[in-house]
Amino acid sequence: MSKAVKRKVKRHVARAIVNIKASFNNTHVTVTDPNGEPIAWGSAGIVGFKGTPKSTPFAATRAAEHAAQAAMRQGVKVVVVKVKGAGSGRESAIRDLSNSGLNVISIEDVTPLPHNGCRAR
């Protein structure tokens, strides 16, 4: 009895969206295709940082580098960057995406801001 092995499909996506979530404790970088399906990802914890160093700009740089290399193996060349959060790794992650060989077309800040919604505690 042989099990059916599910092979990983290698997609070729030329244009992608990079979502960077920079919190005060960690930085997550996710590369998605235009439909929102994830292609590659990286975070400071995946790269090997633990504890307080996870929140540093250097850790965000390494996380962006990890995600960019994986995305370039899938054929990504052009990216649109969307940044969320107020952590210290925002600018360094964007800088490293362009330094790793990806062509950054636009940078957009999508940090959620309340329009005087719920009462603050």
Q: State the pTM of this model.
A: 0.86
pLDDT per residue of the chain (121 residues) written in tens, 0 to 9? 667 777 666 678 889 999 999 999 999 999 999 999 999 999 999 999 999 999 999 999 999 999 999 999 999 999 999 999 998 999 999 999 999 999 999 999 999 998 988 888 8
Distances in Å between the alpha carbon of 10 and those of 23, 95, 106?
Answer: 31, 27, 26
| Residue labelled with tokens 């997550």 | 28
